[in-house]
């Protein structure tokens, strides 16, 4: 996994945001150690696209999102937004350019100021930039409240504690969208919510994206959610990118062993699939202070060979629209078998799984037709 390389990037002129060789390090302790939160990753997002960034806690996905926002600025690399490198801008230029990028955070309640009224929270961006006059700003706040499904007359003067988590997340979305940004970085926007509310928020994000022509970077640890909202998915592990792919290919034919492990960890609402028989990732993510040499996933990978410890895999194309950083990708192979995973984790209760032939898809229950392609 450990993947550097740029094979997955599109033409520089096409992308709204292009991140190259991003490195984020934090000092750790007094002995000059450092946390390698993000190590040399490259990403790009086309206008109107939703890029999903997925991985376990500690894989650097949130750090990537924040580094793009320059919160704090990355240690190295380029963050090119609409042709300008955000790292090279001075403070005032950055302030102006950054209005085009907004963020939505994980915990909806603590990300809103508890002392302020909803109308002030949502209008803050407009107030700072002095957009229009007071009446115009009020009109836009009301319009935004209606868009997120709230009655302005009722909620305008309320404070965050009077709302549920899902409603606070709606308010966060309104606050982010009202300044008409081009890019929204959603950092685990639904992981603190119940499944039923999660569905409402995802639908709202999709509606907002269509209505305001947004480009979204969607960061989450749940691959089922990420697959649903994304046009392209990047899987991260320990500060590196393992796989970049379109979501449907990623689900049908994961190329990286880690992607496969993430997929099989998702609980399936079907009593006939025994969760204990599915292949499972053992152990925990290693410390980013001293990451493994070569491929960073090798310590938990059932396919790891000597080469993986010595040589870092570089991202390369394995299928149209699918890029992987692995010396022994699953595509083209007969697949990882139970014994492979068992040897890696010592769990005997496993069955043969063939990643090239995933379990037959269950019938789609909500007969929603596939949407027209975006872009």
Looking only at residues 252 through 281 of this chain, which bind another protein when binding is defined by CB under 8 A? Answer: 261-276, 278, 280-281
- Of residues 135 and 365, the one with the C-beta less far from another protein: 365
How many residues bind to another protein according to rule CB under 8 A? 71
HSE-CB at 325 with a 13 A cutoff on CA atoms is 31
| 10, 116, 333, 362: residue in contact with another protein (rule CB under 8 A) | 362
Which residues pair with residue 235 across a beta bridge? 54, 243
* Site string (93-132) toward another protein, x via CB under 8 A: ----------------------------------------
Looking only at residues 332 through 361 of this chain, which bind another protein when binding is defined by CB under 8 A? Answer: 361
CB of 29 to another protein, least distance (A): 14
Looking only at residues 33 through 72 of this chain, which bind another protein when binding is defined by CB under 8 A? Answer: 56-57
- Of residues 17 and 204, the one with the C-beta less far from another protein: 204
CB of 159 to another protein, least distance (A): 13
* Site string (190-229) toward another protein, x via CB under 8 A: ----xxxxxxx-xxx-xx-------------xxxxx-xxx
**Which two three-digit tokens encode residue 54?**
């997925």
Q: Is 240 an interacting residue with respect to another protein (CB under 8 A)?
A: no
Looking only at residues 138 through 197 of this chain, which bind another protein when binding is defined by CB under 8 A? Answer: 147-151, 154-155, 164-167, 170, 194-197
- Chain-centroid distance, C-alpha 105: 12
- Of residues 274 and 334, the one with the C-beta less far from another protein: 274
Rg of the chain on CA atoms, in Å: 22
Q: Is 230 an interacting residue with respect to another protein (CB under 8 A)?
A: yes
CB of 373 to another protein, least distance (A): 9
CB of 142 to another protein, least distance (A): 13
């Amino acid at each position: 996994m450990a993947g550097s390389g740029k094979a997955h990037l599109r033409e520089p002129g096409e992308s709204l945001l292009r991140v190259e060789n991003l490195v984020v390090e934090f000092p750790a302790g007094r002995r000059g150690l450092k946390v390698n939160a993000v190590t040399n990753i490259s990403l790009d997002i086309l206008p109107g696209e939703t890029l999903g960034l997925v991985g376990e806690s500690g894989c650097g996905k949130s750090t990537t999102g924040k580094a793009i926002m320059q919160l704090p600025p990355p240690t190295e690399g380029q963050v090119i937004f609409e042709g300008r490198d955000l790292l090279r801008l001075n403070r005032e230029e950055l302030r102006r350019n950054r209005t085009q990028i907004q963020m939505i955070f994980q915990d909806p309640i603590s990300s809103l100021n508890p002392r302020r009224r909803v109308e002030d929270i949502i209008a803050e961006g407009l107030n700072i930039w002095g957009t229009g006059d007071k009446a115009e700003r009020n009109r836009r706040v009301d319009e935004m409240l209606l868009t997120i499904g709230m009655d302005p007359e009722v909620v305008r003067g309320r404070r965050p504690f009077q709302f549920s988590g899902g409603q606070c997340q709606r308010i966060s979305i309104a606050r982010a969208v009202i300044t008409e940004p081009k890019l929204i970085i959603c950092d685990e926007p639904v992981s603190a919510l119940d499944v039923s509310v999660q569905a409402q928020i995802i639908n709202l994000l999709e509606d907002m994206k269509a209505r305001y022509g947004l480009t979204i970077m969607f960061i989450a640890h749940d691959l089922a959610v990420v697959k649903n909202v994304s046009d392209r998915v990047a899987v991260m592990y320990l500060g590196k990118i393992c796989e970049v792919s379109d979501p449907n290919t990623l689900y049908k034919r994961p190329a990286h062993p880690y992607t496969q492990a993430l997929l099989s960890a998702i609980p399936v609402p079907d009593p006939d699939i025994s969760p204990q028989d599915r292949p499972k990732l053992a152990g925990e993510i290693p410390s980013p202070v001293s990451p493994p040499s070569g491929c960073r996933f090798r310590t938990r990978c059932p396919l790891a060979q000597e080469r993986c410890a010595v040589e870092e895999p570089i991202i390369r194309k394995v299928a149209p629209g699918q890029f992987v950083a692995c010396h022994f990708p699953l595509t083209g192979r007969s697949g990882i078998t139970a014994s492979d995973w068992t040897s890696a984790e010592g769990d005997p209760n496993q069955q043969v799984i063939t990643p090239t032939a995933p379990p037959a898809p269950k019938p789609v229950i909500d007969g929603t037709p596939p949407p027209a392609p975006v872009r």
